Amino acid sequence: MSILKIVQYGDPILREKSKEVIKISKKIKTLINDMLETMYHSNGVGLAAPQVGESLRIFVIDVSDPSGPIDPMVFVNPKIIKKSGAINSYEGCLSFPKAYTVVRRYKNVMVKALDINGRPFVIEAKDGELLARAIQHEFDHLEGHMFIDHCRNKFVANEVLAKYNLPSVQEEYLLEEKELEDEIVAWEKEHPEEIEKFRKEIEELENSKE
Ligand SMILES: [Zn+2]
């Protein structure tokens, strides 16, 4: 196994729509294992094939506690078959070193995919748990989308990107997501204490990075 080079934001491959995997060959299995090794090496929660320069519909995720045993999940040719609800998600990406911002996500998702042996499986992730957000984040990479396209405030996102010497948001890719935004705004109005808690969590995470 080997550690692969992670493509950084600005590379055009991150805007391509990835191709379906026709056969899970030995070469594909090696790529998947290398992606897992690269993800663990970088302390990431997920990694998609375009991020290592392969425009293929594959991503890997591990949302387990970093202090416990690993729990690698492999998704080949994934399809999101159900999505509902809306939440705030504070996200970063291995292709955007250190840059985090608040984005809109669905709360619940159901995804269908093949595992590393080509066996189909269905998985449901609920209540905005890390897995639900990670699946959406990684799936986006296969479509040529990135987390910043879902940002709730492009000015804040641009400030963060500039701080880490990354290119600004690409206006033409910004997603309006009016329904998600309206649902989040309505929820926030009813839960001011949760917003305060979320702000504090972000602040702590930001401070721990310094
Ligand atoms: Zn990413």
Per-residue tens of pLDDT for the chain, all 210 residues: 899 999 999 999 999 999 999 999 999 999 999 999 999 999 999 999 999 999 999 999 999 998 899 999 999 999 999 999 999 999 999 999 999 999 999 999 999 999 999 999 999 999 999 999 999 999 999 999 999 999 999 999 999 999 999 999 999 999 999 999 999 999 999 999 988 998 999 998 888 876
Short-list 79, 14, 22, CA closest to 52: 14
| Centroid of ligand 1 to alpha carbon of 190 (angstroms) | 31
Q: What is the DSSP letter of 168?
A: P
Chain-centre distance of CA 84, in angstroms? 17
- Active-site positions? 138
Q: Which residues pair with 112 in a beta bridge?
A: 79, 122
Buried b (16+ CB within 10 A) or exposed e, 62-101: bbeeeeeeeebbbbbbbeeeebebbbbbebbbbbbeebbb
Residue with tokens 């986006």: 140
Q: What pLDDT, on the 0 to 100 scale, is given for residue 121?
A: 98
**Which H helix or E strand runs over 136?**
helix 130-143
Measured between alpha carbons, how far is 145 from 141 in angstroms, rounded to an integer?
A: 5
| Centroid of ligand 1 to alpha carbon of 96 (angstroms) | 8
Both tokens of 124, joined, read 């449901």
N residues, the chain: 210
What distances in angstroms separate CA 77 from CA 59, 60, 168, 191, 203, one per listed residue?
9, 12, 30, 38, 36
Q: Give the pLDDT confidence of 47-71 residue by residue, as tens digits.
A: 999 999 999 999 999 999 988 999 9
Beta strands per DSSP E along the chain: 46-48, 58-61, 73-84, 87-93, 96-105, 108-114, 120-125
| Centroid of ligand 1 to alpha carbon of 87 (angstroms) | 18
Query: pTM of this prediction?
Result: 0.95
Q: Give the pLDDT confidence of 93-104 residue by residue, as tens digits.
A: 999 999 999 999
**CA 102, 103, 108, 109 torsion: positive or negative?**
negative
Q: What is the DSSP letter of 155?
A: H
Residues, beta carbon < 5 Å, ion ligand 1? 93
Short-list 71, 63, 66, CA closest to 134: 63
| Centroid of ligand 1 to alpha carbon of 193 (angstroms) | 29
Q: What pLDDT, on the 0 to 100 scale, is given for residue 210?
A: 65
Are 137 and 91 in contact by the 8 Å Cβ rule? The answer is yes
Chain-centre distance of CA 79, in angstroms? 15
| Centroid of ligand 1 to alpha carbon of 137 (angstroms) | 6
SS3 at position 57:
coil
Spell out the domains of the chain, with CATH numbers in brackets.
12-209 (3.90.45.10)
| Centroid of ligand 1 to alpha carbon of 147 (angstroms) | 7
